Amino acid sequence: MEKTFGYLADGGEARLYTIENGRLLAQITDYGASLVTLRVDGTDVCLGCDDVSGYERNGAYLGAVVGRNANRMSGASFMLNGEKVQLPANEGKNNLHSGPDSWGWRLWQVKAHTENSLTLGIFSPDGDQGFPGNAEFSVTYTIENDGLTIRYRGVSDKDTVFNVTNHAYFNLFGQDKPERAMDQELMVPAEFFCPDDAANIPTGEVRAVEGTPFDFRSFKAIGRDIGMDYEPLILQGGYDHNFVNKGEVCAVMRNPENGLTMTVTTDLPGVQVYAGNFLENQGKGGVYYGKRAGVALETQHFPDSVNHPEWVQPFVKAGQVWESTTRYAFA
């Protein structure tokens, strides 16, 4: 099923597409290839807006596919094949989510739509956002059995960067209960995380979670330790940090009252746990999303990994197909 999702300021029309399998229903708009709705047993657990105008006005990347490079990059630049690649700075002197013209704020093209799957594509020309190479990129949302799978695929005719994520915010109590978001319980198997400096750029340290508020190896409420007097929490205003994935399962979040559980799996080396510290957005159905109204679990290469050769690199060679899969499974 598809329907109009409203009109952009420039007059372009956005569409809303539905995929489902009975227990699960997802709605995705071609604006930003954004996940708008994710209903599990009738409860909408994904933050979003009622129409595309809400997405044009918000800066929170609600449900958006972010590329070519997600998260932050120091100095808005990196070296590739001995040459400096300069991107626009849009967070101080640094680059966030590839700059002011992120893929999350563009209309994508629908390539295929079935009852339980949707594929959208985007063409990113050479020099787009500052990145080298003409890039063809696609994302496929598929509802399979007990979960939603997101498959990414990209190829460029020049060496470039692919580090793409989905920026959905989740609240397993329901998107209409923002006051309960910090009561969600989170388990992250990671033994290490990446502290950031005051500009939200990783310092380069990979710190053990043991003995810190970042130890989520056993379930705990996300809000339990978020206000502790601990420098990484103070600098970022709460959780907004990369965790070093230990295996395929990078995070498990649950509603402790009804037991609804979401398990996140990925083939990428990191996951950004962002507790929505700066959310200020009008949401669906008249709901206002204030500070910490939802939690994003962004599968990714480490932030600023392009400038840290000791970390897994997001560079791809010309003609090399980049693929990645993230899955949200519900029990």
Pairwise CA distance, residues 95 & 73, whole Å:
5
Segment 9-18 long-range contacts (CB within 8 Å, at least 24 positions apart) = 9/53, 9/56, 12/107, 14/51, 14/52, 14/107, 15/110, 17/110, 17/113, 17/118
Sequence-distant (6+) residues with CB within 8 A of 150 are 139, 140, 141, 166, 325, 326, 327
Q: Are 111 and 151 in contact (CB under 8 A)?
A: no
Per annotation, catalytic residue among 167, 241, 301, 308: 167
Per annotation, catalytic residue among 97, 185, 241, 298: 298
- Per the listing, tokens 């053990």 go with 208
Query: What Rg do the C-alpha atoms of the chain give, in angstroms?
Result: 19
- Is 248 tagged catalytic? no
- Is 115 tagged catalytic? no
SS3 content of the chain, % helix, strand, coil (to 5): 10, 45, 45
Pairwise CA distance, residues 154 & 123, whole Å:
10
- Active site members: 167, 298
